[in-house]
A and B are shown apart, each in its own frame.
Chain A
Amino acid sequence: MRGTDLKPRIERFNAAERVAHWMVAICFLYSAFSGLSLWSHRFYWMAAVLGGGETVRAWHPIGGAMFAAALGVLFVKWARQMVLDRDDLAWLAVGHRYAMHEEEGVPESGRFNAGQKVLFWVQTAGALMLLVSGVVLWFPQAMPRALRLAAVFVHPLAAVVSLGAIIVHIYMSTLVVPGALRAMTKGWVRPGWAKAHHGKWYREVAGK
């Protein structure tokens, strides 16, 4: 519903993408906090918040499996758009300047910038490792010892990488780039936003 807002809008994420993204986000956050409760005794109070240790042990794997499934949907939708091109590599080389808002000399981005693309591949790789090791930890009785020994290390290792990357993603999208969160909730951005943050993509959609 546009209401009284008659200023121009560009659709950034369609409804299917938004639903898939928030399914991923909800499952990720549940898996993250329930997982953190078992990461350290000092975080065990999170298990109390989530229904107790036994509940966490029962539901963390299910939340994780749902996260992997939802990410699978996003993967199918976005994988091709997430391939890094030459401009993206140049962008990464001057990524520190992007972080300091010194945008001159930072190559223009397409629909996703190089940072978002790297996040996508880090989360995809992390989710694969978490899924495989997670299945081993889910059914320890059915797994050979060597696999379990690998899984108890691989699972938290992948979780650390995945959580580290998500801290950056959540911070960037909620606090650093005004308008980014609305693009993922309501689905649209202003043309000026598109031009400033995703110049190549803006010309594509505006030139149509």
Chain B
Amino acid sequence: MKQTVAKLIDTTLCIGCKACEVACQEWNDQEFSQGVFHNSYQTMPDLAAHFWNLIKFHEVEKPAGPVWLMAKYQCMHCADAGCLRACPAPGAIIQRENGIIDFVEENCIGCGYCITGCPFDVPRLSPRTNKVYKCSLCSDRVAVGLSPACIKACPTSCLTFGSRADLKFLAEKRAEELRAEGFSAAGVYDGPGVGGTNVLYVLKYADEPELYGLPKDPKIPWTVRLWKGPLKWVGNTIFFGGILAAIVHYLKVGPKEAHEDD
């Protein structure tokens, strides 16, 4: 079996240079996106269909004074992916052997269910093509042994690419270091509620991921689970059971008597 690949984001080393954003746009040949200035060190207000990688910027008041928190935001490549569960079009969302969740444009029907299924609010529907897009973890680069474009561009080693097991080990070590430096809440964020994400974060304030714009306890929505689980069984039982019951009834009991010539 292939190793699961992952990306480690050590937010404590991010300087907010946006090199990763540019590299992502370049490699994936994205159409030009006009930046928006809204009194923040953030290029864009949000992810977009053709903007897959955003450094979120948050200014937070802490007892020791104000802190700047930068966190790269993109698809988390969940082991148990909500988008994949919700998708009705076979082959539109695939989970590769190395753990990458890839959207396949030609199979996408533009229903937007993946947007609802995603606990991280990542996929975006393009009004122009009516298809959904997101970070592919540069699956085309990874397939030929290269690291993703964002990783390649990062000047501070905030971003690391490798096997998930290795990076998890590194991340835990780094968190330990931070705790030793006095950041008692430092820790690793990797979404246990979705079977683990293949994007790992080291956070100084791991007890408050919301400060970074990350969901506190990401989980596949229960309505999606109920719909794709029990409801599907109940529904199929009713469809096929109903048809079967009609056949049995017709053969055993048959039609009511006709009164054609009364």
Interface mask (B101-115 → A, CB under 8 Å = 1, otherwise 0): 000000101111101
Decide if B259 touches A140 in the complex (CB within 8 Å). Answer: no
Task: Known pairs A53-B107, A57-B110, A152-B117; list 16 more (Cβ under 8 Å).
Answer: A38-B88, A39-B232, A40-B232, A44-B88, A56-B109, A101-B253, A101-B256, A137-B113, A141-B127, A149-B116, A152-B86, A153-B227, A153-B231, A171-B249, A178-B258, A179-B260
Of A7, A38, A176, which contacts B256 at CB under 8 A?
A176
Contacts of B107 in A (CB 8 A): 53
* Docked complex Cα distance between A167 and B236 (Å): 13
B235 shortest CB reach to chain A, Å: 4
The size of the chain B interface, using a CB distance under 8 A, is: 44
**What are the residues of chain B within 8 A of A148 when measuring CB–CB?**
115-116
Shortest beta-carbon distance from B108 to chain A in Å: 8
B262 to chain A, nearest CB (A): 2
Instruction: Say yes or no for A54: interface residue by CB 8 A criterion.
Output: yes
Given the interface pairs A140-B125, A141-B125, A190-B260, the reply to whether A152 lies near B110 with Cβ below 8 Å is no
Q: Which residue of A lies closest to B116 (CB)?
A: A148
The interface bits of chain A over 165-200 (1 if a CB of B lies within 8 angstroms of the residue's CB, else 0) are 001100100011111000000000011110111000
Tell me the residues in window 1-51 of chain A with beta carbons closer than 8 Å to chain B beta carbons.
Answer: 7, 38-41, 44
CB pair A149–B242 under 8 Å, yes or no, is: no
Q: Could you show 27 A-B contacts with beta carbons less than 8 Å apart?
A: A39-B232, A39-B235, A41-B88, A41-B90, A53-B92, A53-B107, A54-B109, A54-B110, A101-B257, A137-B113, A140-B111, A149-B116, A149-B223, A152-B117, A152-B224, A153-B224, A159-B235, A164-B239, A171-B246, A175-B246, A176-B249, A176-B256, A190-B260, A190-B262, A193-B260, A193-B262, A196-B257
- The reply to whether A179 and B253 contact each other, CB–CB distance below 8 Å, is no
Assembly CA distance A197 to B262 (angstroms):
13
CA distance A14 to B198 in the complex (A): 64
From 232 to 248 in chain B, residues with beta carbon under 8 angstroms from any chain A beta carbon are 232, 234-236, 238-239, 242-243, 246
Do A152 and B116 touch across chains, with their CB atoms under 8 A apart? yes
Most chain A beta-carbon contacts within 10 A, residue among B92, B109, B224, B232: B109
Interface hits, B92-147 → A, CB 8 Å: 92, 107, 109-113, 115-117, 121, 125, 127, 130
Q: Across the two chains, which residue of chain A brings its CB closest to B255?
A: A176
User: Are B226 and A153 within 8 A (Cβ)?
Assistant: yes
* Contact in complex: B255, A192 (CB < 8 Å): no
